[in-house]
Amino acid sequence: MRWPHHAVVQLTTVLLLGLLASAAPAQPAEVNTIKEAFAKLYSCWKPPPVSRANPIDITVVVSFNRAGEILGHPRISYESQQATDNDRLMYRVAVMEALQRCTPMPFTDAMAGAIAGRPFAVQFHSRKPPPHQEKRAWLTPKIL
């Protein structure tokens, strides 16, 4: 059974509209707690690839206004000690890009009033913690 040309066109149009509607970005969920604010910031974090910079930990201090926009200038307050100048530069750029991707932060009215102007220290961890040394109590030699 062959489909008439107009039926194929209509079906294709309906399918494309359905795909476009499902691909449309959803409205961002409002941020109502500090925990949600940090989760939102971490979701925007994309560290540089290891091929361009060694993994480091970095902390930025940032404040927001009631509208969720950055207030003043974010300040880097910590970087891993072993970081090279290139690592620092790459990670500072990544932090600023994360802040740009996440702002304006969609605060609820209550949250906006509570945090406006207050500094947040946001830690971004990229280094893997050293492996935990396993204690092997059953294999330790006994000294008599």
Tens-place pLDDT, residues 9-30: 454 443 444 443 444 344 468 9
Write out the DSSP string of 26-84.
PPPPPB-SHHHHHHHHHHT--PPPTTTS----EEEEEEE-TTS-EEEEEEEEEE-TT--
What percent of the chain is modeled with pLDDT above 70?
A: 68
Average pLDDT over residues 76-89: 91
Q: Which of 6-15, 27-36, 45-54, 100-109 has the lowest mean pLDDT?
A: 6-15
pLDDT over 80 (residue 34): yes
- Measured between its terminal Cα atoms, the distance across the chain in Å is 91
Q: Which domains does the chain have, with CATH numbers?
A: 27-127 (3.30.1150)
Mean pLDDT estimate for the chain: 80
- Residue 22 has what pLDDT? 42
The pLDDT confidence band at residue 65, using thresholds 50, 70 and 90, is: very high
